[in-house]
Amino acid sequence: MKALIVNCSPVRNGATAEIVNIIYGELSAKYETKSICVDDYDIAFCKGCRACHKTARCVQNDGFTDMINEFENADIIICTAPSYWADIPGQFKSFIDRCTPWCNTHEPHASLSRGKKGYAVVLRTGPNMKECERLIQSIEHFYGHMEIECAAHIGFCGIEYREDVAPRKEEIISFCRDI
């Protein structure tokens, strides 16, 4: 089985990346594992043209295709996202918007292969878990329309910098045991 861990933050070496590294270390013992960063891909905003509603294909040709192929090649997908103003980062939202051709709410639509499981790992600087729940809802809503089974999620408050992750490492490892 193949696991894909997505750093949904454009920051390649921050707290989110540190969590991705811990997850990668845990899962690579069980699965063929790959991690990617949303910032590795040049993904333009959705143009809202709705051409994909008729063709199940986007009219744009950019890094989106490479990133959606990573989702296709994985059996397990772990989206790891920090809070940017109480929601997922805009770069990841741009990716989600571009997934409209794969969205199961209209026909025709493209589709990922069946049987994928999705996990959400979110973090925020402040103390309120309600904000983490909002991020989890965004990711799980995306998974639902992509027909990725929502398997589990976890949220962390009080994490701003890489060094803030260390005290939570055992919680992350414990979460990974069930993946």
pLDDT tier at 30 (50, 70, 90 boundaries)?
very high
**Cα–Cα distance, 7 to 37 (Å, whole number):** 5
The CATH number of the domain holding residue 108 is 3.40.50.360
Dmax (CA) of the chain: 50
Q: How many domains does the chain have?
A: 1
Burial 5-44 (b: 16+ CB within 10 A, else e): bbbbbbeeebbbbbbbbbbbebbeeebebbbbbbbbbebe
* CA 164 to centroid of chain Cα atoms: 21
Residue 11 is part of which domain span? 2-177
Nearest CA-CA partner of 83 in 143, 20, 133, 13: 133
Q: What is the pLDDT of residues 128-153, one digit of tens each?
A: 999 999 999 999 999 999 999 999 99
Confidence of residue 107 (pLDDT cuts 50, 70, 90): confident
Residue 137: alpha-carbon gap to chain centroid: 12
Query: How much is the mean pLDDT over the chain?
Result: 96
